[in-house]
C-alpha cells in the first residue's frame, strides 16, 4: 500500500476534494480526491510492475497503457511538474521500427530529437500528458528520462598563477611527462604508436585546427544543437582530452620560464581522432546527445571511445541509458574508456563509469614537475616528489551491484596538455577526465600491437583483461585502484605475446551469502609460478590531538614501523570555522571556505620527499598513501595570516597486506582454479582483496570483490569515513547492502549513528533497481557546505515501504556529513513488522474516562492516526461528476481520462463504484488498489464494481473515454463500513511517537455508550495499519476489570 502514497503526497495540493459521509450532513475522515491529470501523472501513482490501463482507440482497436515501462527517475520528474515538457529516451524491443515510433511521437505533438539504431531507441521531447501513451505500443520496451551528464568536476586547487619553477631537465624541450611515466615512449621505440587506430573523443568539442592535431582529427560532429564556431570547443575540455591521446608535440610554450620550452605529445601520436561534441560549452549534455555520439562513433568505425563525463545514478548499477549504449557499443567491438569520477569515497563511481562492459578509469599522481600552486609547501626540487599514488578525490567502488571499479587508474594529477586558441597548451590538467584519455591512448597502442601480432583486432574484453593484468600495483585497496596504474609498455608486450596475461581481469562474485562458495577458472597465456590471496588489514593508529595550527602551518613528525605498507591520513578541525555556524543552523549563507591543505613527506637524510596530499575545501582532509618504513612528516598548511585554528586533530591509520583466508587456489600449468568461501559468521558488506599471481616471472594483480548480504531482521554495523567535501552530492561513502525479503508485506529500515552533527541519506531499492523510499537532504545553493537533515530530526533515518516484490532488496546509505569526527559507525536493520505497541484489550465503564499508553518500538518518529469503530455497519454513498475527452492526430489516438483518488480508511468493509454517462460515447472505469493492481473495470452504464475488504490507503479510479469527442459522467462511490462508536472519543486523535517514545491516550465514554468495538492505529499516507485494540464499554464492569 505504501508504495503509492510516498509518490502521491506532493500532488494533493493540486487535487479537488470530496468526502464520503458518516451521516447525512456530517463529514468523515478521509476524502475522495480528483484531478484532471495526464496519463503520465497517473503513472507516478501506480505500482509500475503490475499496472495496466485498458483503453480503446477511436477506430475501435484495443490498446493498453503499460505503466511498468516508465522508469522511476522519469516518474519523479513528472511528480515534481506534471504540466512540463520532458526529454525522454524511448527504448524499443529488438526488431522494432524506429521510424514508426518516431511518427507516433510526431502525431502526439512531440519532437523527435534523434534515432539510435545502436540501442534501437528514439530520443524525443514531449509534454507530460503524452508520454505514457507511448507505453501502449508493443514495440516500446521502456521509457527513460533523457538526463543530463556533466564534465567530471575537479577539485579546485589553490593555485596562484601559471608560473613554473625549479625544473631540472637536460633536454631543450620539456615534454609533458605523462606518456613517459606510464611507459608509452618504450612502446614507441617498438614501432607501436597507435597507427591505424581511431579513437572517438566524446566531449565538449575539439579545437581541430590546433597545430598539434593537424591531420589527427579526421572527423567532427556537433550533437548539442550549438553552432560549430571557432575554436569548436568553448570549454577546452575535449581539446585537452584529445591532446592526451594523440598530440604531436609541435607547439612549444615557455610559460615565462627562460630557456625551457614545453611541448605535449600524446600517448598514441599515431592514432586518429574523431570528435563528437556531446557536451555544451557550459560542460553539460543530455543522455540523448551522448548516445547519439556513441552511435555515431560506432557507425564511423571508431575502435575506441573515450568519455570524460558522468553523472550521479542511484543505484549506480550500470542500467541507465548511457551505460546501456556503451554496453551495446562494446558488443559491436568498440572499446570504451570512461572516467570514474572525482568524488572521494567508497561507491562513488558515476555513470557511465559504472557501466558493466566499459573500462572505468581512476586517477593517480605524477609529480615529476612542480607548479606554483605547490609553492607554499616546503620543497626544493621536482625530483623530491613521489609518484604513483592515488589522488585523494578519485572515485572508488564498488558499484551498487558489487563490481570492482575503477578497472584501472592512469595519471590524473598533474600535467599539461593542449588548450584552445590562443593558448595552445594547458598548464594544469587533472582528474579522472584526463586519466581516461591517457588510458584510451594505451588502448590504441594495445590494439595496434595486437593486430600486428595476431592479424585481427582484439575484443573489448580482451583489451580489458590485458590492461588490467599488466597494471602496476600501487598498493591500494581494490576498490580504490582496481589492479593498479596502467602500464603502456607492459600492455603492448602482452599484446605482442611477449608478456603473460589471463582471461580474468577481476573477480566479482555478486551476492554471496555466508556459508556459500564461488568458483572461478582462469586461463593464462603462460605457466603459473605462484599464487597468493591478500587483503589490507588494519594494524594500528597514530593520533595527534588538540593541536594549535597558526599561520603558515605546522609539521608533525612520526615514524612508520617495519611491515607497514599503507597509510590512511585524516586531519580535522571544528566545523564552525568552515561553516561559520553550528552545522544544524546552516542555511547556505554562512560558508567561509576556511580549510587546510595537507601533504605527507618521507624524510630521507634531510630531504623531504612528498608522497601524497589533499586540499579539500572543507574542515577535514583525507587521503591515502602507499608507504614504506621510515621517518615521515605531515605538513598542515594554514594560509590564513592572523588566524589560529584549534583544536586540530590528526589520525594516521596504518595497514599491511595479509593472507585472505576466504580465498583458496589451485593451479596446474597455465590454469588457475579459485574458490571463494564466505564464512558463516561474515558480516554484511563489501569485501575486497587481490590474487597476487606470478606467471613466467611477471606479477599479475587480479582484484576481487565479494558482496555479503544481510539477513532480514539482522542488525549489523557499517563504518563510514569522513568526507565533508561540498563540491557535489555524489562525494562521500556510498553503501549498497542486499537483503533478501521473502514475503510480501511491510518492511522497515532503520539507520542509526551517534554523533549529533553527522548526517546520512538512506534509500530502499527494490529487486528491479527502483528506489522505492528515500530520505534525502536538500541541496545547498552553489554547492557550499551540506545541510543537516533527517526524517526523524535525530541521529537516525527510518524508511518503511510495502514489499510487493520478494527478492534481494538493497539498502542504500550515503554519508552526507560528519562534522568534526573521523569516522562514524552505523547500526542498520531491515525487518518485517509494525512499529508500535498498543493494548490488546480495553474495558471501560460508561460515563467514565480511562488513560492508556501507546509505545514506539523503532528508533524513528511514527505519525499515528486513530479511528474508534463499533461492530455495527452502515451503508454509505456519494457521487462525483466530470467530463472526459479525447482526440486523434492522424491515425494515432490520444485517450483522455480523469483520475480520482479514493481514501480507503480502516472502517470500510466494501467499496463499490459505478459509472453513468451521457450520450453514446464509450467510457471505462478502471479501479486500482493502493499497490497499483487493477482490481476490476466498469464498461457498461450503471454497472457496479464491488471490492470486499479493500486495502487501506489511496485507491484510484481512472475514467477513460474511447471515442473522439467528450462525455459527461457521474461516478458513484459507496459500500458498507463499520459505524463510528457512538459516544466514545479518544484524545488525542492523532499524534507523533518519538523514537522509542510513548504517548498517553485518554478514552472517554458518554453515559449512553455501550457495546463492543475497536481502536485502529494507522497512517493513511503510508497505508500502514500499525495495530488494533479491542474495546468493551458497559454500564458496569465485572470483577477483575
User: Are 858 and 997 part of one and the same domain?
Assistant: yes
Give the three-class secondary structure for 132.
helix
DSSP string, 467-500: HHHTPBP-S--HHHHTT-B--HHHHHHHHTTSS-
User: Are 613 and 747 part of one and the same domain?
Assistant: no
Looking at residue 785, the DSSP 8-state letter turns out to be S
CA-based nearest residue to 789, from 798, 778, 773: 778
Element (H, E) at 102: helix 98-107
User: Are 245 and 321 part of one and the same domain?
Assistant: yes
What nine digits make up the cell of 463?
583489451
User: Are 859 and 990 part of one and the same domain?
Assistant: yes
What nine digits make up the cell of 581?
555556524
Of 974, 993, 1011, which residue constitutes the final position of a domain? 974
Q: How far apart are the two ends of the chain, measured CA to CA in Å? A: 38
CA-based nearest residue to 116, from 223, 220, 233: 223
Contact between 1027 and 837 (Cβ < 8 Å) = yes
User: Are 291 and 422 part of one and the same domain?
Assistant: yes
What nine digits make up the cell of 179?
606518456
519 assigned to some structural domain: no
User: Are 293 and 315 part of one and the same domain?
Assistant: yes
465 assigned to some structural domain: yes
Count of C-beta atoms within a 10 Å radius of residue 42 = 25
**How far apart, in whole angstroms, are the C-alpha atoms of residue 1038 and residue 1041?**
6
Q: CA separation (Å) from 150 to 623, 690, 768?
A: 25, 33, 26
Q: Residue 304: how many CA atoms within 13 Å on its side-chain side?
A: 36
User: Are 196 and 322 part of one and the same domain?
Assistant: yes
User: Are 846 and 812 part of one and the same domain?
Assistant: no
Give the three-class secondary structure for 746.
strand
pLDDT at 495: 98
356 assigned to some structural domain: yes
pLDDT at 888: 46
CATH code of residue 817: 2.60.120.380
663 assigned to some structural domain: no
Please give the model's pTM, rounded to 2 decimal places. 0.74
728-731 long-range contacts, Cβ below 8 Å, gap at least 24? 728/153, 728/312, 728/343, 728/783, 729/312, 729/779, 730/312, 730/341, 730/343, 730/348, 730/350, 730/395, 731/343, 731/344, 731/345, 731/348, 731/393
CATH code of residue 137: 3.30.70.80
Dihedral pair phi/psi, residue 161, rounded to 5°: 160, -170
Contact between 38 and 108 (Cβ < 8 Å) = no
The C-alpha cell 524511448 sits at 90
CATH code of residue 494: 3.40.50.200
Sequence-ordered list of residues with C-beta below 8 angstroms from that of 845, at least 6 positions apart, any chain: 1005, 1033, 1034, 1035, 1036, 1037
Give the three-class secondary structure for 684.
coil
How many structural domains is the chain composed of? 6
pLDDT at 123: 87
Give the three-class secondary structure for 560.
strand
Of 656, 680, 707, which residue constitutes the final position of a domain? 656
From the number of C-beta atoms within 10 Å of its C-beta (0-12, 13-18, 19+), residue 242 rates as buried
Give the three-class secondary structure for 240.
helix
DSSP string, 963-1014: SSEEEEEEEEEEEEEEEE-TTEEEESSEEEEPTT-EEEEEEEE-TT--EEEE
Can you give 339-377 as a three-state secondary structure string? ECCCCCCCCCCCECCCCCCCEEEEEEECCCCCEHHHCCC
Lay out the sheet containing 566-572: strands in order across: 507-511, 698-708, 685-695, 528-549, 645-659, 566-572, 620-626
Dihedral pair phi/psi, residue 5, rounded to 5°: -70, -35
Cα 693–Cα 698–Cα 700 angle in degrees, nearest 5: 40
Of 499, 528, 557, which residue constitutes the final position of a domain? 499
Contact between 566 and 656 (Cβ < 8 Å) = yes
User: Are 44 and 76 part of one and the same domain?
Assistant: no
pLDDT at 587: 83
Domain assignment of residue 441, given as a range: 173-369+386-499
Q: Respond yes or no on whether the N-terminal peptide bond of residue 371 is cis (omega within 30° of 0).
A: no
In 150-302, alpha helices (H):
178-181, 184-189, 237-246, 287-299
pLDDT at 177: 74
CATH code of residue 994: 2.60.40.10
Across the chain, which has 1041 residues, the per-10-residue mean pLDDT values are 23 24 30 32 21 26 59 71 84 86 88 82 87 84 76 45 30 64 93 98 95 94 82 91 94 65 88 95 81 95 97 88 93 97 93 96 79 39 71 95 97 84 70 94 98 98 98 96 97 98 97 97 97 97 96 94 96 93 86 90 81 90 94 93 96 98 97 98 97 97 98 94 78 94 85 92 85 73 75 79 85 90 92 84 94 88 90 93 70 60 90 92 77 68 86 77 81 94 96 92 95 87 72 74 47
Q: CA separation (Å) from 1022 to 132, 864, 865, 930, 1025?
A: 25, 10, 11, 10, 9
**How far apart, in whole angstroms, are the C-alpha atoms of residue 849 and residue 1002?**
7
DSSP string, 305-329: EEE-EEB--SS-SS-SHHHHHHHHH
Strand partners, 985: 1004
What nine digits make up the cell of 249?
608535440
Q: What is the radius of gyration, based on Cα positions, of the chain?
A: 32
285 assigned to some structural domain: yes
CA-based nearest residue to 330, from 449, 205, 443, 209: 443
User: Are 590 and 730 part of one and the same domain?
Assistant: no
Q: CA separation (Å) from 338 to 304, 391, 784?
A: 11, 17, 27
Give the three-class secondary structure for 381.
coil
DSSP E strand stretches across 433-552: 507-511, 517-523, 528-549
Q: Respond yes or no on whether the N-terminal peptide bond of residue 422 is cis (omega within 30° of 0).
A: yes
Count of C-beta atoms within a 10 Å radius of residue 847 = 14
Label residues 757-780 b or e (16+ Cβ within 10 Å = b). bbbbbbbbbbbebbbbbbbbbeeb
User: Are 304 and 195 part of one and the same domain?
Assistant: yes
96 assigned to some structural domain: yes
Q: CA separation (Å) from 958 to 41, 44, 923, 940?
A: 12, 13, 10, 15
What nine digits make up the cell of 845?
465503564
Contact between 895 and 965 (Cβ < 8 Å) = no
Lay out the sheet containing 607-614: strands in order across: 553-560, 630-637, 597-604, 607-614
User: Are 358 and 292 part of one and the same domain?
Assistant: yes
What nine digits make up the cell of 453?
601480432
Strand pairing of 597-604 and 607-614?
A: antiparallel
pLDDT at 751: 92
685 assigned to some structural domain: no
151 assigned to some structural domain: no
pLDDT at 100: 87
Amino acid at each position: 500500500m505504501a508504495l503509492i502514497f510516498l509518490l502521491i503526497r506532493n500532488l494533493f495540493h493540486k487535487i479537488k476534494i470530496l468526502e464520503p459521509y458518516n451521516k447525512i450532513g456530517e463529514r468523515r475522515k478521509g476524502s475522495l480526491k480528483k484531478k484532471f491529470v495526464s496519463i503520465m501523472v497517473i503513472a507516478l501513482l501506480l505500482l509500475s510492475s503490475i499496472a495496466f490501463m485498458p483503453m480503446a482507440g477511436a477506430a475501435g482497436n484495443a490498446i493498453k497503457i503499460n505503466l511498468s515501462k516508465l522508469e522511476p527517475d522519469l516518474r519523479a520528474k513528472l511528480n515534481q511538474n506534471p504540466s512540463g515538457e520532458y526529454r525522454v529516451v524511448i527504448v524499443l524491443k529488438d526488431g522494432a521500427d524506429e521510424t514508426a515510433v518516431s511518427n507516433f511521437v510526431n502525431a502526439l505533438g512531440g519532437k523527435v530529437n534523434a534515432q539510435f539504431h545502436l540501442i534501437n531507441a528514439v530520443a524525443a521531447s514531449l509534454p507530460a500528458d503524452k508520454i505514457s501513451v507511448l507505453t501502449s505500443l508493443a514495440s516500446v520496451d521502456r521509457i527513460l528520462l533523457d538526463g543530463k551528464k556533466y564534465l567530471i568536476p575537479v577539485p579546485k586547487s589553490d593555485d596562484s598563477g601559471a608560473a613554473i619553477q625549479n625544473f631540472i631537465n637536460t633536454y631543450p624541450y620539456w615534454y609533458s611527462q605523462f606518456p613517459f611515466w606510464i611507459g608509452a615512449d618504450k612502446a614507441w621505440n617498438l614501432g607501436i604508436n597507435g597507427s591505424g587506430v581511431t579513437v572517438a573523443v566524446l566531449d565538449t568539442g575539439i579545437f581541430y585546427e590546433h597545430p598539434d592535431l593537424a591531420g589527427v582529427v579526421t572527423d567532427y560532429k556537433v550533437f548539442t544543437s550549438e553552432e560549430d564556431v571557432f575554436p569548436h570547443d568553448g570549454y577546452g575540455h575535449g581539446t585537452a582530452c584529445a591532446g592526451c591521446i594523440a598530440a604531436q608535440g609541435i607547439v612549444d610554450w615557455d610559460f615565462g620560464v627562460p630557456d625551457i620550452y614545453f611541448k605535449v605529445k600524446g600517448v598514441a601520436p599515431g592514432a586518429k581522432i574523431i570528435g563528437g561534441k556531446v557536451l555544451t560549452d557550459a560542460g553539460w549534455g543530455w543522455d540523448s546527445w551522448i548516445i547519439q555520439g556513441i552511435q555515431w562513433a560506432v557507425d564511423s568505425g571508431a575502435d575506441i571511445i573515450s568519455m570524460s563525463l558522468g553523472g550521479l545514478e542511484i543505484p549506480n548499477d550500470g542500467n541507465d541509458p548511457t551505460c546501456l549504449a556503451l554496453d551495446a557499443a562494446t558488443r559491436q567491438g568498440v572499446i570504451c574508456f570512461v572516467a570514474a569520477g572525482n568524488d572521494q569515497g567508497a561507491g562513488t563511481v558515476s555513470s557511465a563509469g559504472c557501466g558493466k562492459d566499459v573500462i572505468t578509469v581512476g586517477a593517480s599522481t605524477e609529480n615529476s614537475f612542480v607548479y606554483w600552486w605547490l609553492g607554499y609547501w616546503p620543497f626544493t626540487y621536482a625530483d623530491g616528489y613521489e609518484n604513483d599514488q592515488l589522488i585523494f578525490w578519485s572515485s572508488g567502488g564498488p558499484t551498487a551491484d558489487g563490481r570492482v571499479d575503477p578497472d584501472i587508474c592512469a595519471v590524473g594529477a598533474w600535467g599539461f596538455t593542449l588548450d584552445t586558441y590562443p593558448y595552445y597548451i594547458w598548464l594544469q590538467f587533472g582528474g579522472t577526465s584526463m586519466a581516461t584519455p591517457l588510458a584510451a591512448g594505451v588502448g590504441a597502442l594495445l590494439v595496434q600491437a595486437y593486430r600486428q601480432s595476431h592479424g585481427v583486432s582484439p575484443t573489448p574484453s580482451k583489451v580489458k583483461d590485458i590492461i588490467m593484468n599488466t597494471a602496476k600495483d600501487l598498493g591500494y585497496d581494490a576498490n580504490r585502484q582496481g589492479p593498479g596504474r596502467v602500464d603502456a609498455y607492459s600492455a603492448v608486450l602482452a599484446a605482442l605475446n611477449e608478456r603473460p596475461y589471463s582471461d580474468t581481469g577481476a573477480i566479482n562474485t555478486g551476492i554471496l551469502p555466508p556459508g556459500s562458495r564461488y568458483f572461478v577458472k582462469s586461463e593464462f597465456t603462460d605457466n603459473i609460478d605462484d599464487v597468493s590471496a591478500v587483503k589490507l588489514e588494519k594494524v594500528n593508529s597514530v593520533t595527534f590531538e588538540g593541536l594549535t595550527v597558526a599561520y603558515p602551518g605546522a609539521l608533525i613528525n612520526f615514524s612508520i614501523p617495519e611491515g607497514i605498507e599503507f597509510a590512511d591520513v585524516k586531519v580535522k578541525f571544528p566545523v564552525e570555522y568552515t561553516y561559520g555556524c553550528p552545522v544544524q543552523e546552516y542555511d547556505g549563507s554562512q560558508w567561509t571556505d576556511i580549510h587546510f591543505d595537507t601533504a605527507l613527506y618521507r624524510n630521507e637524510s634531510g630531504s623531504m620527499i612528498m608522497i601524497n596530499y589533499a586540499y579539500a575545501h572543507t574542515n577535514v582532509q583525507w587521503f591515502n598513501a602507499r608507504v614504506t618504513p621510515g621517518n615521515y612528516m605531515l605538513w598542515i598548511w594554514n594560509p590564513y595570516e592572523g588566524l589560529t585554528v584549534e583544536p586540530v586533530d590528526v589520525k594516521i591509520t596504518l595497514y599491511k597486506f595479509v593472507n585472505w583466508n576466504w580465498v583458496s587456489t589451485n593451479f596446474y600449468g597455465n590454469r588457475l582454479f579459485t574458490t571463494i568461501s564466505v564464512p558463516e559468521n561474515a558480516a554484511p558488506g563489501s569485501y575486497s582483496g587481490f590474487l597476487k599471481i606470478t606467471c613466467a616471472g611477471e606479477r599479475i594483480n587480479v582484484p576481487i570483490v565479494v558482496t555479503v548480504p544481510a539477513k532480514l531482521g539482522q542488525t549489523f554495523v557499517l563504518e563510514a569515513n569522513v568526507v565533508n567535501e561540498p563540491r557535489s552530492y555524489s562525494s562521500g561513502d556510498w553503501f549498497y547492502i542486499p537483503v533478501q525479503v521473502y514475503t510480501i508485506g511491510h518492511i522497515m529500515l532503520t539507520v542509526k549513528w551517534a554523533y549529533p552533527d553527522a548526517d546520512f541519506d538512506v534509500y530502499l531499492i527494490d529487486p528491479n533497481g527502483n528506489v522505492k523510499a528515500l530520505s534525502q537532504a536538500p541541496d545547498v545553493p552553489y554547492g557550499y557546505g551540506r545541510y543537516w537533515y533527517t526524517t526523524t530530526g535525530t541521529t537516525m533515518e527510518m524508511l518503511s515501504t510495502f514489499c510487493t516484490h520478494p527478492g534481494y532488496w538493497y539498502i542504500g546509505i550515503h554519508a552526507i556529513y560528519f562534522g568534526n569526527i573521523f569516522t562514524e559507525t552505523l547500526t542498520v536493520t531491515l525487518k518485517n513488522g509494525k512499529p508500535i505497541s498498543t493494548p490488546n484489550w480495553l474495558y471501560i465503564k460508561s460515563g467514565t474516562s480511562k488513560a492508556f499508553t501507546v509505545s514506539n518500538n523503532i528508533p524513528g518518529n511514527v505519525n499515528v492516526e486513530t479511528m474508534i469503530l463499533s461492530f455495527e455497519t452502515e451503508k454509505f454513498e456519494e457521487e462525483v461528476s466530470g467530463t472526459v475527452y479525447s482526440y486523434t492526430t492522424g491515425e494515432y489516438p490520444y485517450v483522455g481520462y480523469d483520475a480520482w483518488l479514493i481514501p480507503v480508511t480502516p472502517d470500510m468493509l466494501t467499496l463499490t463504484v459505478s459509472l453513468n454517462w451521457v450520450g453514446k460515447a464509450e467510457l471505462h472505469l478502471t479501479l486500482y488498489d493502493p499497490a497499483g493492481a487493477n482490481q476490476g473495470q466498469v464498461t457498461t452504464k450503471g454497472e457496479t464494481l464491488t471490492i470486499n475488504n479493500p486495502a487501506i490507503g489511496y485507491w484510484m479510479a481512472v475514467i477513460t473515454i474511447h471515442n473522439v469527442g467528450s462525455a459527461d459522467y457521474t461516478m458513484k462511490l459507496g459500500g458498507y463500513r463499520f459505524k463510528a462508536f457512538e459516544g466514545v472519543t479518544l484524545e488525542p486523535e492523532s499524534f507523533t511517537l518519538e523514537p522509542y517514545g510513548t504517548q498517553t491516550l485518554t478514552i472517554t465514554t458518554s453515559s449512553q455508550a455501550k457495546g463492543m468495538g475497536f481502536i485502529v492505529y494507522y497512517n493513511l499516507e503510508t497505508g500502514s495499519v500499525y495495530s488494533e485494540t479491542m474495546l468493551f464499554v458497559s454500564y458496569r464492569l465485572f470483577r477483575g476489570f
